[in-house]
Amino acid sequence: MSEPEDHEPSSTRAELAAAHQRIADLTEELDTTNRGIIALHTELEAARDAEARAWARNAVLAERDRIARDLHDQVIQRVFSAGLILQGSAALIRNPRAAERVRTVIGELDATVRDLRTAIFGLHDHPQEAVSLRIQLADLIAEADDNLGFSPTVSFAGPIDAAVPDHIAADLLAVTREALSNLARHAHATKAELSLAVGDELVLRVSDNGRGLGTTTRSSGLRNMRERAQIHDGGFSITSEPGAGTRLEWRVPLPQPHVPATD
With cut-offs at 50, 70 and 90, classify the pLDDT of residue 253: very high
Q: CATH number for the 131-257 domain, one of 1.10.540.10, 3.30.565.10, 3.40.109.10, 3.40.50.2300?
A: 3.30.565.10
Sign of CA dihedral 177, 143, 195, 240: negative
Please determine, for residue 6, whether its predicted confidence score (pLDDT) is greater than 70. Answer: no
Instruction: Report pLDDT for 148.
Output: 82
With cut-offs at 50, 70 and 90, classify the pLDDT of residue 128: very low
CB 202 within 8 A of CB 254: yes
With cut-offs at 50, 70 and 90, classify the pLDDT of residue 129: very low
Q: Which helix (H) or strand (E) holds 169?
A: helix 166-182
What is the CB neighbour count within 10 angstroms for residue 258? 6
Average pLDDT over the chain, rounded to an integer: 80
Task: Round to whole Å and give the CA distance between 178 and 140.
Answer: 11
Task: Round to whole Å and give the CA distance between 22 and 134.
Answer: 76
The residues that bridge with 236 in the sheet, in sequence order, are: 250
Please determine, for residue 205, whether its predicted confidence score (pLDDT) is greater than 80. Answer: yes
Q: Which helix (H) or strand (E) holds 100?
A: helix 96-123
Please determine, for residue 258, whether its predicted confidence score (pLDDT) is greater than 60. Answer: no
Residues contacting 151, CB < 8 A, separation 6+: 141, 142, 145
What is the mean pLDDT of the segment spanning 114-130?
62
Residues contacting 237, CB < 8 A, separation 6+: 248, 249
With cut-offs at 50, 70 and 90, classify the pLDDT of residue 219: low
Q: How far is C-alpha 95 from the geometric centre of its chain's CA atoms?
A: 40
Task: Round to whole Å and give the CA distance between 254 and 232.
Answer: 9
Task: Round to whole Å and give the CA distance between 14 and 51.
Answer: 55
What are the E-state strand segments in 14-114? none
Per-residue pLDDT tens over the stretch 63-98 = 777 777 777 767 777 887 787 788 777 778 888 888
Domain ranges of the chain: 17-129, 131-257
